Amino acid sequence: MGVRRLLDDCCAAAKRLMPLDEALAIIDRDLVPVTDVETVPLWAALGRVLAHDVTARIDLPPATNSAMDGYAVIAADLDADAETTLPVTARQAAGRPLDGTAQAGAAVRIFTGAPMPAGFDAVVMQEEVTVQPDGRVTIPPGVRPGRNVRHAGEDVEAGSVVLHSGARLRAQDIAMAAAVGHGTMTVSRPLRVAVFSTGDELHEPGDDLPPGCIYDSNRHALQAMLAGLPVAVTDLGRLADDPAVVTRAIEAAAVDHDVVMTTGGVSVGEEDHVRQAVEAKGAITFWRLNIKPGKPVALGRVGETVFIGLPGNPVATAVTFLLVARPILLRLAGARDIALRRFQVPAGFSYVKKEGRREFIRVRLETQADGGTLARLERGQGSHMISSLVDSHALAELAEDSPGVREGEALTVIPFPDTMAG
């Protein structure tokens, strides 16, 4: 479950910095979705991954109806060049039977969403007619068949697929399922994700902070970012920098989780024990990527459980979560579209980088007077500077061979998802 095939020749891969595109190709090739599904009510389907296509049970609209409040008429009864005055012989409201008789040479008072009377083919808005003292209505010339009429099935035809498997369900998808007659949806079950952080220096926010220590922000940030994905999170707290403790924790978490995710401990320091623990119980596919920030990021397995190791610096944690962990989780959850959105905006700054690594810098997106969008560089681009995340809206992507960007040049940006949006 979860892993179809991970690379066995990881030792060779570990000697070089793997390009991000190569890592994403491995994710796409070697990971298969968890196949367990469940049926849930519509309100519980938001954000989940659709397991089966949804087919329309009815036409949408189910019947030809009025798009406006006004008067239904037969266009052929009207003078094409002059006003026409007609008696009103019936009233048609949505969800109610016709009150009166709809007949040729007369108008029917009608309301938005109400079915069109048989033979009537146009609706004149109530603002466009003049109601006479005797109750008749005067209609302007130029009314053609089909005016302000919504035809049965013009949105969706019964039997057609309206939502495809692998879609991450949004509010508008829920609306569509409901409109075509579905009260429940079959979705992939949430991935079971275990999260913990490593480091003797970490303490829980709110506690007294000893000298030389820091509060554990990464674990809480990860849980917040995971909240926007189809997962069920188990918080396993903090682990000390002890090889035996780390190994036991990872092995135990792998028993009843689809994914084990850590922050810290995957670099090359003497106190970085996570990678060795995973290798002792499974295998590492990659653990160093050619990106900045976030070089020490790992994908591996412990048994059939996927392991994701993210770096310890908070900005690097966030960046690698978006670039690597997020597509892994969406792939395992069965999502069809796992790519981050990218678009180009002009740079409102100049920035010089070293060639050789793909770099992701934090930017703020500003709306200009002409309605366009401009990217502004956030101060402090260090991988430890959480303020650069707080004040930014997106990552700007600079290619490996790029020397940087000059003010006014087109810049590729990746907007933060909702759980990180400013």
Q: 196 with 131, same domain?
A: no
Q: What six digits make up the tokens of 384?
A: 């430890």
Q: 50 with 23, same domain?
A: no
Q: 182 with 48, same domain?
A: yes
| Spatial distance between the Cα atoms of 14 and 9, rounded to a whole number of angstroms | 9
The number of CA neighbours under 13 Å toward the Cβ of 82 is 3
Count of C-beta atoms within a 10 Å radius of residue 385: 16
Write down which residue in 102, 121, 150 finishes a domain.
150
CB 162 within 8 A of CB 54: yes
Residue 414 lies in a domain: yes
* Burial profile 126-154: b = 16 or more Cβ within 10 angstroms, e = fewer: eeebeeeeeebbebeeebeeebbbbebbe
pLDDT of residue 8: 45
Q: 400 with 268, same domain?
A: no
Q: 196 with 296, same domain?
A: yes
Place of tokens 């430890």: 384
Sequence-ordered list of residues with C-beta below 8 angstroms from that of 331, at least 6 positions apart, any chain:
27, 28, 31, 33, 338
Q: 45 with 29, same domain?
A: no
Domain total of the chain: 4
Using N-to-C axis directions, what is the helix angle for 243-255 and 274-281, rounded to 10°?
50
CATH number, domain of 370, equals 2.40.340.10
Q: 321 with 360, same domain?
A: no
Q: 74 with 121, same domain?
A: yes
Residue-wise pLDDT for 154-206, tens only, equals 999 999 999 999 999 999 999 999 999 999 999 999 999 999 998 889 999 99
Write down which residue in 332, 359, 385 finishes a domain.
332
Residue 60 lies in a domain: no
Which structural domain, as residue segments, surrounds residue 168? 40-55+161-187
Write down which residue in 332, 367, 384 finishes a domain.
332
**DSSP track, 19-44:** PHHHHHHHHHHHB-----EEEEEGGG
Question: Dmax over Cα atoms in the chain, in whole Å?
Answer: 95
Residue 4 lies in a domain: no
pLDDT of residue 272: 62
Count of C-beta atoms within a 10 Å radius of residue 38: 14
Would you call the peptide bond into 346 cis, given omega within 30 degrees of 0 as the criterion? no
In order along its 422 residues, the chain shows pLDDT tens digits of 344 444 444 444 455 799 999 999 999 999 999 989 999 999 999 999 999 999 999 999 999 999 999 999 999 999 999 999 999 999 999 999 999 999 999 999 999 999 999 999 999 999 999 999 999 999 999 999 999 999 999 999 999 999 999 999 999 999 999 999 999 999 999 999 999 998 889 999 999 999 999 999 999 999 999 998 999 999 999 988 888 998 999 999 999 999 999 998 665 554 467 888 898 889 999 989 999 999 989 999 999 999 999 998 999 999 999 999 999 999 999 999 899 999 999 999 999 999 999 999 999 999 999 999 999 999 888 888 888 899 899 999 999 999 999 999 999 999 998 777 65
Own/partner contacts of 240-244, CB < 8 Å, gap of 24 or more, are 240/198, 240/200, 241/198, 241/199, 241/200, 241/265, 241/271, 241/273, 242/273, 243/273, 243/276, 243/277
Q: 122 with 258, same domain?
A: no
Residue-wise pLDDT for 245-271, tens only, equals 989 999 999 999 999 999 986 655 544
CA 70 to chain centre: 40
CATH number, domain of 197, equals 3.40.980.10
Residue 3 lies in a domain: no
Q: 354 with 256, same domain?
A: no
Residue 1 lies in a domain: no
CATH number, domain of 84, equals 2.170.190.11
Q: 173 with 93, same domain?
A: no
Residue 217 lies in a domain: yes
Q: 298 with 204, same domain?
A: yes
CB 407 within 8 A of CB 348: yes
CB 250 within 8 A of CB 307: yes
Residue 51 lies in a domain: yes
Residue 310 lies in a domain: yes
pLDDT of residue 373: 96
Average pLDDT, the chain: 92
